[in-house]
Amino acid sequence: MKPPPFEYVVPDTLEEALEILAERRSEAKPLAGGQSLVPTMNFRLSEPGLLVDLRRIENLAGIRGTEDGGLEIGAMTLQADAERSPLVAERTPLLAEALPWVAHAQIRNRGTVGGSLAHADPAAELPAVALALGARVETCRAGGRSRWIDAETLWPGMFATAIEPEELLTRIRFPPAAPGSGFAFRELARRSGDFALVGVAAVVRLDEDGRCGMARITLLSVADRPLVANEGAKVLIGRIPTPAVIVEAARAVAARDVDPPSDIHASAAYRRHLCQTLTRRALTAAFDRGGDRPGHAGPRWRAGGW
């Protein structure tokens, strides 16, 4: 199918784009990589009267470290550029680990980091990662007004965001990783490049005594938005993350945190099973990578291999 007729503009500056969005707010839509928007237009699931192409706007793309040791990514940064960035690998290794799971290389060559967050697909990897890492996004509107939105409140529902129609997402900020923290991303898709049946992001921190001081587990493809698994995390806090404790946490996620849907891709029961298995794997890897200081309990108690 082809999209319905639409107008198309390519503004040169951010202010120009924001003014167009303010004037035509009910019918205009920003166009980033077009990898989600164009297919939805072709299927007539979205019928914007005007596309505002963001590709010429300077400074909307780019990756830079922040002074506090965190990372900032411009909304129009290509997913492929983030995937290959040494700075992303160093400062937000969870994001680096998740990016190759996003679609296919060809799509990541066009798709943007900001476009993925703004599209708000509950099966997308990057929102779950942003949520796990406590990221914030900046939005701007005409007149130089901007605000920051926490990932926690960015996605109120299926394909919905807290971004107003006259606003643009301009950059994403990831806080620095706490010392002793470990991370991991795991997902299962039927074929390489397909959307995940379930995905899990885990961020943990080991204290000096080898106990879990912080745990954050997020899941994708199990709800109408990325989900934070608080019950699973509670099982871990203050405990030495032995294999048995990790299994207990993974069971809590599957039993109490999620209520996954059945669809043509997988039954709810299978998704629940995946939630447990992938959470166990993600937590095991995250704890292995955490607490990289003398006295760290992780690798020692797993020396026999598990």
Ligand X SMILES: Cc1cc2nc3c(=O)[nH]c(=O)nc-3n(C[C@H](O)[C@H](O)[C@H](O)COP(=O)(O)OP(=O)(O)OC[C@H]3O[C@@H](n4cnc5c(N)ncnc54)[C@H](O)[C@@H]3O)c2cc1C
What backbone torsions phi and psi does residue 236 show, to the nearest 5 degrees?
-85, -30
Q: Check the CA dihedral 94-100-101-103 and report its sign.
A: positive
Q: Which stretch binds ligand X (CB under 6 A): 111-119, 202-210, 268-276, 294-302?
A: 111-119
Say whether residue 163 binds ligand X (CB under 6 A): yes
Residues 235-254 that bind ligand X (CB under 6 A): none
Nearer to ligand X, 192 or 303 (CB): 192
Token pair for 50: 């005007």
Say whether residue 118 binds ligand X (CB under 6 A): yes
Token pair for 172: 């994403």
Residues in the chain: 306
The alpha carbon of 264 is separated from its chain's Cα centroid by a whole number of angstroms, namely 24
Say whether residue 112 binds ligand X (CB under 6 A): yes
Q: Which stretch binds ligand X (CB under 6 A): 1-9, 107-115, 208-216, 276-284?
A: 107-115
Which one of residues 14, 17, 18, 31 is an interface residue with ligand X (CB under 6 A)?
A: 31
CA-to-CA distance for 129 and 203, rounded, in angstroms? Answer: 9
Nearer to ligand X, 130 or 215 (CB): 130
Say whether residue 221 binds ligand X (CB under 6 A): no
* Number of residues forming the site for ligand X (CB under 6 A): 30
Residues 119-158 that bind ligand X (CB under 6 A): 119, 121, 124-126
Q: Check the CA dihedral 258-279-95-205 and report its sign.
A: positive
The alpha carbon of 23 is separated from its chain's Cα centroid by a whole number of angstroms, namely 31
Over the window 33 to 62, marking each residue x when it contacts ligand X by CB under 6 A and - when it does not, the resulting string is: xxxxx-x--------------x--------
CB 150 within 8 A of CB 133: no
CB of 22 to ligand X, least distance (A): 13
Token pair for 69: 């040791």
Let me know the angle formed at the C-alpha of 98 by 97 and 103, rounded to the nearest 5 degrees.
130
Summary count for the chain: helices (H), strands (E): 13, 12
Which one of residues 169, 233, 246, 275 is an interface residue with ligand X (CB under 6 A)?
A: 169
Residues 251-280 that bind ligand X (CB under 6 A): none
Say whether residue 74 binds ligand X (CB under 6 A): no
Token pair for 248: 């207990």
CB 176 within 8 A of CB 93: no
Which one of residues 14, 20, 73, 75 is an interface residue with ligand X (CB under 6 A)?
A: 75
Indicate the DSSP class of residue 99.
G
Q: Which stretch binds ligand X (CB under 6 A): 113-121, 141-149, 283-291, 297-305?
A: 113-121
Say whether residue 9 binds ligand X (CB under 6 A): no
Beta-sheet strand order (sheet of 28-31): 7-9, 50-53, 28-31
Q: Please give the helix or strand (H or E) that residue 46 lies within, else none.
A: none
Over the window 183 to 202, marking each residue x when it contacts ligand X by CB under 6 A and - when it does not, the resulting string is: ------------x-------
Q: Which stretch binds ligand X (CB under 6 A): 112-120, 225-233, 238-246, 260-268?
A: 112-120
Residues making contact with ligand X (CB under 6 A): 29-37, 39, 54, 75, 102-103, 107, 111-112, 114-116, 118-119, 121, 124-126, 163, 168-169, 195
